[in-house]
Structure 1
Amino acid sequence: MVVNIYDSANQMERDLRETQQYADLKKAYEDMKQDADTFSLFKDFQNKQMQLQQKQYTGQQPSDDEIKDIQEMAEKVRKVDAIQNLMDKERGIDQLLSDLNNVITKPIQELYQD
């Protein structure tokens, strides 16, 4: 029997969209976007995080000013309920994806247990 694992993956993508975790995340994101200032802060924070990650991936260390800047922005983000709600929902979907990853990789884990 030939299995096209990508068909299963595509079905899983469709199924993920039907989960409560995805619905909660989508609603939290849409709610957050309703406030332009909150959405702008969120996008700025995301961009700064990505810039720092890219620096670290290339072996560069962020400057003290960059670290201070992201810490200050993180403090602002922590004070915004809509962003905190979104992050809570992200943790829920991350847990679901982690659980799925454990199921998917079970054959490999079992292979190396011998």
Structure 2
Amino acid sequence: MAENLHDLGNQVAEALKATPDYQALQKAFATMKADAETYKLFQEFQQLQGTLQQKQMAGQKLTEDELKHAHDLAEKVSKIESIKDLMETERGVNQILSDLNQTITQPIQDLYQG
């Protein structure tokens, strides 16, 4: 049964790749990545976000310096058009994933509410 679910998951992944939202995300990412300086800044931003999330999940407090660096980097990133476009198109894909998650977890919600 689990293999069947994994097969279905792979089918959903392929279907996601065929959506206009995903294709727009792919194009926006390629556009952003084409500028080496912008891509480097984007990678730095992603790495910083991941590091800060890990610290928070581990129950560690973020320092003022970390918060300021995160704020400054986010502000810098938010001014770059190709990154703004990427983040906007990412919202469309995230909405699809959110809808799928809602559909997949509906039986569990029904179970607990029934």
TM-score, normalised relative to structure 1: 0.94
Residue 61 (str. 1) matches residue 61 (str. 2): yes
Which residue in 1 is equivalent to 2:70? 70
* Percent sequence identity over aligned pairs: 49
Alpha-carbon distance between aligned partners in 1 of 2:69 and 2:5, rounded to the nearest angstrom: 44
Cα deviation, residue 112, structure 1: 1.6
Secondary structure at the aligned position of 1:105 is classed as helix
Q: Which amino acid aligns with 1:72?
A: D
Which residue of the partner structure matches residue 50 of structure 1?
50
**Structure 1 stretches of 5 or more lacking a match?**
none
Q: What residue in structure 1 maps to residue 88 of structure 2?
A: 88
Cα drift, residue 63 of structure 1: 0.6
Separation in 1, partners of 2:112, 2:63? 42
Give structure 1 regions of 4+ aligned residues with deviation exceeding 4 angstroms. Answer: none
Once the two structures are TM-superposed, the CA of residue 6 in structure 1 deviates from its matched residue by 1.4
Return 5+ residue gaps in structure 2 as ranges.
none
Structure showing the higher helix proportion among its residues: 2
Aligned to 1:35: 35
The answer to whether structure 1 residue 79 and structure 2 residue 95 are counterparts is: no
Residues paired across the two proteins, number: 113
**2:28 aligned with 1:7, yes or no?**
no
